[in-house]
Structure 1
Amino acid sequence: MLKKRAVFVLICFILLFGGIGPAPVPAKKNQENTGMVTTDGLRVRKGPGTDFKVIGSLNKGQVITILETNENWAKIQTSFGVGWVAKEYVSFQTTNLAITDKPPVSKKNNGKITINSLNVRSSPSLHGSIIGKLQRGEEVTVLSQRGDWTEISFSGKSAWISSEYVLVEKKGSKKKSTTQLSSNLAGVIGTVTATTLTVRDKGNLNGNIIGSVSKGQSFQIDEEINNWAKIEWKPGKFGWVANWFLDKTEAGGNKSEGQNVKNSTLTIIHNGTNLRKSPSAHSEIVRRANEGETFQIVSLQNDWYEIRLQNGTTAFVAGWIVSVKGNTPQVEKPGADMHLKNKTIVLDPGHGGRDNGTTGIRGTLEKQVTLKTAKLLYDKIKASGANVILTRNDDTYISLSSRVSTAKYHNADAFISIHYDSIKDRSIRGITSYYYHSFQKPLAASVHLATISQTKMKDRGVRFGDYHVLRETNKNAILLELGYLSNPAEEMLVTSEQYQESVSSGIFQGLARYFKH
């Protein structure tokens, strides 16, 4: 009798609340497709957004494996790991590109590139497509040589470079002593000047990332080749770092002679970028540069590039807000994603199923646009190392009680309910953020401020809101109204790809800032 009563109670609970288990993660296609990069210097990031750290770059013509996509970003497999790129700079292929059959090779040799920006081509001809570039000092595996052309292994595939610019080391030949390539480094100490400096297993940008060191840490430099320094970054573990980011001193404390930056330029990526008199955010502004302007890099000081202006004088620009070409590594600031790692975030796309929510002047259904926002935000938060749960991942009706129960079941650190607004007055526009319990207000304020800053929408403030998903929970929960579908212009704006990217980035930044503090 007790067993029957327990089963009856369980069935009633499920019918009443719709269950409390996690909604399944958005379906991702496992099928791997290929694509081709359509621009030079395409940044590959740790996650789908500009808040994430750059882990490498790709050049026009390179072929990539695409693992999955969302509305604005593509997750790809590269020679330096899995990352995300802006989808607009990728030409998608319906089938995998054929790999040219290689002639039999009795043995493979190593080669070293002797110039910067050497074109890597798909075939042994100047008419072959450029699929990438190599820099001076990079090592390659030589598969064969045909007169003026050398076949190499590039990103796991056969490719070709000019034989004139590769120094091939035959198997069994005596290897050149590395001491001939390194300066006298006895007693030289390198102190990290970048906020975070990547450690690689080889002395070039194609080396695998094996760790990182932080600003202020000092290491004995064991070897230095082609602007890379070998250090013992952990007891018994050695790796290579870009020596542009090392302030070198000798054993007696004397400054070691620094290296000038050669054959490198940077491009401004934002209008109105400040160029300063010295490498500090508090330094005097000497002029403002606009998007697309290019400057020669003279030197690197901490996280700032010294650049040559047209009048012959120099100025400094923050390294994390420009794009670099040449043999100088890109300065990167720690991403906002570091503050969300291991947090549990529940995302609640409003409405769904038989509940359409509001309907816009042009027929936009609120339930559809809330899900679009939530999925973009899901990918960003997931890439930051957080545990992310969606209350729904498709057009399904979920009761309010079940949404609240999901946050409680997963012991959420934050619950974000996503909505779009409507009112009879079609002139009303803007974003409003709501909380119910006083402890929820700081989260609402942080997310609201970041979202307004990112989207430039009208600020309707952070307000008290008597909503079920906020009132009936003891979790840190907020509800966001991200624009008015009743305003014709705003309806068109909020359904655009650009707005969806901006608003999801704003919410992501707000969450990160909240947990940072």
Structure 2
Amino acid sequence: MIKRFLLLLVCFTLVFAVFLPQDIGVAATGTVTIAESTVNIRNGPGLSYQLVKQVKKGEKFTIIKEKDDWIQIQLSTSKTGWVANWVVTKPSNGTTTSSSSNSKNMSATANTNQLRVRSGPGTSFRNIGYLNKGQAVSVLDENENWLKISASFGEGWVAREFMDLKSNSTNSKEDNNNNKSIDKGIVTDTLNIRDEPSTKGTIIGKLSKGTTVSIYSKKNNWLEIKYSGQSAWVSSEFVQIGTQSQPSKTTGIIGKVTASSLSVRDGSSLNSKIIGSVSKGQEFAILDEVNNWIKIEYKSGKIGWAAGWYFNKDKEKSSQIAKDSKVTILHNGTNIRKDPTVQSTVLQRVNEGESFHIVSIENDWYEIKLSNGKNGYIAGWLVTTNGTGPGIDKQGAEGYLKYKTIVIDPGHGGVDNGATGSSGTLEKELTLRTAQLLSDKLKAAGANVFLTRSNDSYLPLPSRVRLASIHQADAFLSLHYDSNLDRSVRGMTGYYYHSYQKKLAEYVYNSTNSQTKLKSRGVRSGDYHVVRENQRNAVLMELGYLSNSAEEMTLTSGQFQENAASGIYNGLARYFKEK
């Protein structure tokens, strides 16, 4: 009798265990809201899994966990299911994608002088400062061509090729009880940063003249600062305590404010305290210039720093230009003009690669010495400068993209490889690579960016189009690479379907083709699902032929990927500017 009872108890326990909810102990990580009229819930993370339930638009569910592009949700106390992340929305927390985990404990050191730090990952972004050789910074984020860094003048992006990366030790020497600064100072000469208050300490970085530092403590003749998130020390001999210094000797240059209202700060960085303001049209003698910040006497007896990119400087600056400063032409057929304006007479046309000595700078134009001995002017955004030449950046692209909603669709993915190149390149991998570079540029400009896929996963074409509708996209960009049985075929093609999409297609295509210099196959109507079924402005870009072995080498290069992303970015900016 007892044996029979025990046997029944064991059987009951086993049967009961089978019907227990399987994931009830997994911590929830938020909620999702169904975004489509009818959505299928499946018993696994994929379209091949069995349908367990249909839910309606507006229903909310608790998230259990996520896997690739699928979310496991709690349907009831004893039932769970999986829903595709492209048919739901999550509550917005106002944050952007976090930095890659690889970047969280990274620092980098500049390996060249006068390295420009920009507001976004691309040469079209505004220049916000400079790094000198040996100067170390913290790395916040990265892609294959650019690093997002934190420097003394704020956050910005630098070209990856000019930085040496290294991992930071997980054991910080920082004293967590000493997080409040007691003073500020300005570095008066190039200054070594050491790991202890002694000349015997290891040099872990350098600070440039004019850098503003926060001081956390003093020990003998040494000052404690924060460097790459750690406690560090510099000699007090080369730091001027306080930022309200006596007027320095003028540089002989007059700066005119171009912003309607411009903040004046107590140091040469966006992190410095605002101590005053100046207005458009006011002119000031420039006392000093550090990392594109200008030191001025903004009121009688009061000295401060203002962002140099909001000043026009008069032609007296020519005396400050090094004798070897040159510009190099970026495009064939560039105009050299008589005066610094696009309405001025064209003196001659020059081609890509030609170089000229800089005579002076006037607003956004370089005055240059021509081969015939005469002087002419060239727009600063049409050239590059050598290491000692002062740079000019054309402003504006960010303004046209800010707050725009862009959906980027990297073609193919998962089981769908797309085209395969003559050397084995997979289209699905290359489209994602381009999309991620483009996404970083658009986010830096303030756009709201959504990728239809962010990893190697399959997504049906209707779901890609649906994302454009869900997010009310201002533009939908489907990125692809082409293939042909005739391996000699090459070039770039842009496609639209509806007439209202043509303008976007032309702007994006023309800009990208000009930037990459591939053979132009033009913009044409194409019967592709992602543009045909799309009620938003949409374009499908075939960015070159993987089947052509020579073109495949070009398409997979870092330079082409950067140019393609920049071309699409600039094309979007021009489209929204003219819209």
TM-score of the pair, normalised by structure 1: 0.75
Residue 219 (str. 1) matches residue 263 (str. 2) = no
Residue 386 (str. 1) matches residue 453 (str. 2) = no
- Quote the residue 1:436 is aligned against: 497
Write out aligned runs for 1:26-425 (5 A).
28-30=99-101, 31-96=104-169, 118-123=189-194, 131-132=205-206, 134-135=208-209, 153=225, 158=232, 160=234, 163=237, 166=238, 178=246, 191-192=256-257, 199-202=263-266, 204=268, 208=272, 217-219=280-282, 225-226=287-288, 228-231=295-298, 240=306, 242=308, 245=311, 261-262=319-320, 266-268=325-327, 270=329, 278-281=339-342, 282=344, 285=347, 300-306=361-367, 316=377, 318-320=379-381, 321-323=383-385, 330-425=391-486
Deviations 1:127-153 (A, max 9, x none): 986944534x66667876989xx7674
The Cα shift of 1:338 comes to 1.7
The Cα shift of 1:120 comes to 2.0
* Mapped partners of 1:50, 1:472: distance in 2: 35
Letter aligned with residue 29 of structure 1: S
Residues 67/207 of structure 1: CA separation in 2 closer, same or farther (3 Å cut):
closer
SS of match in other structure, 2:100: coil
Deviations 1:271-313 (A, max 9, x none): 6887765434535558979979795x76543233556899998
* Mapped partners of 1:49, 1:212: distance in 2: 32
SS of match in other structure, 1:10: strand
Deviations 1:332-379 (A, max 9, x none): 321422211000000111111111112122121111111111111111
Aligned pair count reads 475
Tell me if the contact between 1:275 and 1:289 (Cα under 8 Å) persists in the aligned partners: no
SS of match in other structure, 2:54: helix
- Identical positions, percent: 40
* Mapped partners of 1:373, 1:125: distance in 2: 48
Letter aligned with residue 240 of structure 1: A
- Quote the residue 1:427 is aligned against: 488
The structure whose Rg is larger is 2
Deviations 1:84-131 (A, max 9, x none): 1111111111224998999x9xx98876666xxx32224577998694
* Mapped partners of 1:15, 1:503: distance in 2: 36
SS of match in other structure, 1:462: strand
Residue 471 (str. 1) matches residue 532 (str. 2) = yes
SS of match in other structure, 2:306: strand
Residues 292/141 of structure 1: CA separation in 2 closer, same or farther (3 Å cut):
farther
Match of 1:20 among 78, 87, 92: 87
Deviations 1:141-168 (A, max 9, x none): 7876989xx76748576454694xx585
Residues 299/16 of structure 1: CA separation in 2 closer, same or farther (3 Å cut):
closer
The Cα shift of 1:82 comes to 1.4
* Mapped partners of 1:74, 1:5: distance in 2: 40
* Mapped partners of 2:83, 2:187: distance in 1: 68
Residues 241/338 of structure 1: CA separation in 2 closer, same or farther (3 Å cut):
closer
* Mapped partners of 2:131, 2:416: distance in 1: 44
SS of match in other structure, 1:218: coil
Letter aligned with residue 265 of structure 2: D
SS of match in other structure, 2:523: strand
* Mapped partners of 1:324, 1:196: distance in 2: 32
The Cα shift of 1:451 comes to 0.7
Residues 425/131 of structure 1: CA separation in 2 closer, same or farther (3 Å cut):
same
- Quote the residue 1:10 is aligned against: 54
Letter aligned with residue 123 of structure 2: T
Tell me if the contact between 1:432 and 1:480 (Cα under 8 Å) persists in the aligned partners: yes
* Mapped partners of 1:37, 1:275: distance in 2: 34
- Quote the residue 2:24 is aligned against: none
Structure 1 segments unaligned to the other structure (5+ residues): 184-188, 233-237, 249-256
Letter aligned with residue 477 of structure 2: I
The Cα shift of 1:487 comes to 1.0
- Quote the residue 1:461 is aligned against: 522
Structure 2 segments unaligned to the other structure (5+ residues): 1-37, 42-51, 58-80, 289-293
* Mapped partners of 1:456, 1:275: distance in 2: 23
Deviations 1:462-485 (A, max 9, x none): 011111111112110111111111
* Mapped partners of 1:276, 1:346: distance in 2: 40
The Cα shift of 1:419 comes to 0.8
The alignment's C-alpha RMSD in Å is 4.9
Deviates more, 1:384-393 or 1:335-344: 335-344
Tell me if the contact between 1:18 and 1:402 (Cα under 8 Å) persists in the aligned partners: no
Tell me if the contact between 2:356 and 2:368 (Cα under 8 Å) persists in the aligned partners: no
Tell me if the contact between 1:275 and 1:316 (Cα under 8 Å) persists in the aligned partners: yes
* Mapped partners of 2:205, 2:39: distance in 1: 68
Tell me if the contact between 2:511 and 2:568 (Cα under 8 Å) persists in the aligned partners: yes
Residues 191/435 of structure 1: CA separation in 2 closer, same or farther (3 Å cut):
same
Tell me if the contact between 1:28 and 1:68 (Cα under 8 Å) persists in the aligned partners: yes
* Mapped partners of 1:442, 1:243: distance in 2: 33
Deviations 1:216-258 (A, max 9, x none): 932376x8644633549xxxxx96355994579xxxxxxxx96
Letter aligned with residue 424 of structure 1: L
Residue 514 (str. 1) matches residue 514 (str. 2) = no
* Mapped partners of 1:364, 1:212: distance in 2: 56
Letter aligned with residue 376 of structure 1: L
* Mapped partners of 2:223, 2:372: distance in 1: 45
* Mapped partners of 1:228, 1:437: distance in 2: 54
Residues 285/130 of structure 1: CA separation in 2 closer, same or farther (3 Å cut):
farther
TM-score of the pair, normalised by structure 2: 0.67
